[in-house]
Structure 1
C-alpha cells in the first residue's frame, strides 16, 4: 500500500511545484540620514543603548527607587507575563511539525445471536487491543506549518522587545517623576527661606514703625511679600504630595522618605550620551525592533497562505497487538498495524484561498506602514530632544547669570534702604524679582534634566 502512496505524493509535488519561502527584506529607513540638529555631542560619550541605566543615573537613591519600580510595577509585570504567554503559543505552533503519538488500550465484547452465528448456539466474541499510533499528522512538504511556526516565533520575539520598551518607558517615567519631586522640594525650601527673610524684614519694619522711623506703607508692603511666600509654601506642599502619589503609583509600592532627594543637583547626576546616526540608533530601539518582528510575522503568514494552494498531505498510522484471548494478547502472532496516508488537493472553494492570501498581503503591507511610522515617530522624538538640549543649556546659563545679578541688586537695595537713601519699595521689587528668577532657574534645571532623561529613553537606553 505504501508503495502505491509514495508515487501519489511525488506526483502531487511535481504537479503543483514547491512554493518558495517568503524572503524578508527590511524596508529602507523613511527618514534622513542625519539629525536636524547639527551640534556635535559630547566628545567620547557612549551611545545610550550601550549605557546601562545604573551607569546613566549616578544618584544611589534614584537607583534604589528604579529597582523598586522594576520589581513592583504592574505594567512591566503584565509585559513579562505576556512574554510567557506568547512563548507557550509558539511552542504549541512548533509542536505541529511533529507527530503526536498516543498509547491506547481497549477491550470489546459482544454477543452474536444463534441465527447469525452459523452454528447451533449463540456466541460471545471478545477482542483486546493495545497499541501506539498517530492521527492526522500533516507532512509539511509545502511549508505551511513552518511558516506558521516562524510567524509565532517572530511574535514571541516582538513581545520580548515590547517588554524592553516598557522597561525603558518605566525607568524614564520614574526618573522624571523623581526629579520633579526633588525640584518641588527645592522650590518649597526656597519659599521657606524667602518667608523667613520676609518675616524678619516684617518684624524689623514693624519695630521701626512703632518708633516712628518707618511708615505704615512700608509695613503693608512687606506684609504682602510675607503672604505671597506663605501662598507659595502651601502651593508647593500640595504639589509635593501629588508628586509622591504619582511616584508611588509608578513604583507600585510606597517609597520610603529616606529614598527621596531634596536636592535637584544630586538627584539629576547623569552621564553624557552621544546621539549617533539615525541608522545606528533607531534600529536598536526596542519598539522599532518589536515592529520589525511583527512585520516578519506578517511576511511569514503570507507563506502559510500561499501553501494553502498546494495539497495537504497527512498520515494516520498505528501499531500494536490484538487478540480475542487476553492470555494471547502479547504473543508475536497478535501483532497488527495500519497505515492511512491522505492527500487533499483543493480544487474549488469560491475564491476563499485567494481572499485569504490577499488578506495576508494586506496585513504585511499594514505591518510595513506601522514599522515605518514607528521609525518616523522615533526620529521626531530624538530630533526634538536634541534640539532642546542645546537651547535648555543656554537658558540655564542665562538664568544663572540673572540670579547672580539680582542677588547683588537685592543686597545693594537693602543697603541703600538701611542707609535711608531709598524707600523699602526698591527692596521689595528686588526681592520679588530675585525669588521669581530663582523659581525659574529651578524650573529650567528640571527641564534640562528631564530632557536628558528623555534623550536617553528615545535613543534606546535603559533596556
Structure 2
C-alpha cells in the first residue's frame, strides 16, 4: 500500500513539474500570411491558359537565341555558384537528420603511467603483496578498446523540426535557383533583341546616309549652277558627318551588348550570331496570362518566400523547445587491462556504464528568451516578405499587360509617321530640285524621317522586351 502511494506521489510531482515548465514557456501569436489575389487580371478573361507554363524553347522561336540560352544554363558562373549552394543545403539536411539519431563511436588506446609513491595510488601499489606486485608493472601500462554511444531523445521534436527547417531551406534554395534561371533567360533574350535593334538602327543610318550623300551631290551641282549657296552645301555636309559619327556610337553599343551576352554565357568576347532581318515585321503573338492565383505556383520567387516562411515557423518551434528539458542517454562498454594478453580475459577486463541525463534551463533564461523573440520576429518578417512577393508578382503582370497594350497603339502610329515622312523626303527632294522648297526643309525632313525610323525600331524593341517581361512575370523560363 505504501509503494502504491509512493508511486502516485511521484506521478503527481512529475505532472506538477510538467505544468510548471509549460506555464513558464512564453507564447506569441503570429498572424497568417495574406495570400489573396484578385480572381482575374484587369480586362482579361477568366481563362487558365497561361504562357508562363510554356517551355522557353517553345516561347522563343529564334534558333540563335535558343542556342545562347542553352549555353548560359550550363556555363553561367552565377548559376553554377547557386548550384553549389543547393548542394550545401542538401548536405545540411543529412547533418541535421543525424543529430536525432544515436551516435556510436569507438576508441582504441594505450597509455603508460608512473604513479608517485607519495600518492594514494602509488602507496597502495607499493604495499601490495609480492605476488600482486608481479601482476602490476611499474610504470603501469593500460590498453583499452571500447564502444561508447550517446543519444538525445527528441521528446519535444526540436531536432526533427530542425531537420524539417533544413528541408524547407533546401527547397527554398532550389526555388532561388529557378528564379535565377528565369531572370537569366529573360536577361539574355533582352540583350539579344537589343542587339538586333542596334543592327536595324545601323542599317537605317546607312540608308539615310545614302540619301543624304545624294542630296549633298545635288546641292554641290546646284551651287555650280548658281542655284544654291555654300551655306547649303556646308549644312548638308554637316548632316552627313553627324550621321557618320552616329554610326560609331552604335558600333560601341553593339560591342558592349555582345560582351554582356558573352559574360552571361561565361565565355570570352566573341561575335554573337543573330538574325536581324525583318525585325520590324516580327509579331508579338498572343500572351495568355491565366488567372492571378497561378502566380503562387508558377513564380519561383513566390514559392521561395513560401518555403522560407515555413522554415521560419519551424525555427520558432525549435526556439520554443529550448525552454523544455532535454533527455539524453549515454552508454559505454569495452575491455581494459594493463597487459594486452589480459584484454581477452573476461569478465575481469570488462567495463561498462549506462547513464541518463535530464538537463533544462532554470535560472537566467535571457539568452533563450532572446533567441525565441528573434525567431518570432524573423517569422513575422517572412510573412511580410511572402505577402510583398505576391503583391509584386501581381503588379508586374498588371503593369506589363498595360505596357503591351500601349506599345501596340504606339507602334501603329509610329509606323504611320514613318510612312508619311518617307514620302515627305521624296516630295522635298523634288521640290528642292525644282527650286520650290528651301534646303532647310529638305534637311529637317530627312532628320525627322531618320529619328522616326529609329524610334520605330526602339518601339519594336520595347514590344519584344515587354513580351519577355510578362513571360518572366508569369513565372516562365525556369521549367
CA contact (8 A) 2:209 2:240 kept: yes
Tell me which moved more, 109-118 or 93-102.
109-118
1:240 maps to what in 2? 254
Does the aligned pair in 1 maintain the 2:329–2:357 contact within 8 Å? Answer: yes
**In the alignment, is the contact (CA less than 8 A) between 2:110 and 2:144 conserved in 1?**
yes
Distance 1:167 1:11, change over 3 A: farther
Matched, 1:34 2:40: yes
Q: Please list the CA deviations of residues 346-369 of structure 1 after superposition, one character each: whole Å capped at 9, or x if unmatched.
A: 322244433332222111111111
Of the candidates 44, 51, 59, which is equivalent to residue 47 of structure 1?
51
Rate the CA distance shift 1:44–1:30 in 2: closer, same or farther, 3 A: closer
Aligned residues: 453
Deviations 1:366-393 (A, max 9, x none): 1111111122222222221111011101
Tell me by how many angstroms 1:265 deviates. Answer: 2.2
In structure 1, the residue matched to 2:4 is: none
Deviates more, 1:300-309 or 1:265-274: 265-274
Distance 1:108 1:429, change over 3 A: closer
Which range moves more in the overlay, 420-429 or 354-363?
A: 420-429
Shift of 1:131: 2.0
Classify the secondary structure of the residue corresponding to 2:175.
Answer: helix
Partner of 1:71: 74
1:119 is matched with which residue? Answer: 128
Q: Mean Cα displacement is larger for which, 410-419 or 266-275?
A: 266-275
The TM-score with structure 2 as length reference comes to 0.84
Q: Does 1:405 align with 2:408?
A: no
1:227 is aligned to 241
- Structure 1 residue aligned with 2:457: 442
Matches within 5 A, 1:344-423: 344-419=359-434, 421-423=436-438
What displacement does 1:458 show?
Answer: 1.4
5+ residue gaps in structure 2? 1-8
CA distance in 2, matches of 1:175, 1:320: 67
2:153 aligned with 1:153, yes or no? no
CA distance in 2: counterparts of 1:169 and 1:8, whole angstroms? 63
Residue 328 of structure 2 aligns to a residue whose secondary structure is: strand
Give me the whole-angstrom Cα distance separating, in 1, the residues matched to 2:15 and 2:430. 101
Is 1:195 the counterpart of 2:196? The answer is no
What secondary structure sits across from 1:259 in the alignment? coil
CA–CA distance in 1 between the matches of 2:29 and 2:142? 54
TM-score by length of 1: 0.87
Task: Sort the Cα spacing of 1:13 and 1:365 in 2 relative to 1 into closer, same or farther, 3 A.
Answer: farther
Aligned-partner Cα distance in 2 for 1:46–1:188:
37
Offset of residue 26 of structure 1:
6.3
- Tell me if 1:166 matches 2:180: yes
Q: Distance in 1 between matches of 2:145 and 2:15?
A: 36
SS in 2 for 1:257: coil
* Structure 1 segments unaligned to the other structure (5+ residues): 1-6
Q: Which 10-residue stretch deviates more, 140-149 or 114-123?
A: 114-123
The question of whether the paired residues in 1 share the 8 Å contact of 2:104 and 2:147 is answered with: yes
- Residues 1:59 and 2:62 aligned together: yes
Equivalent in 10, 13, 16 of residue 18 of structure 2: 16
Q: 2: distance between equivalents of 1:58 and 1:9?
A: 74
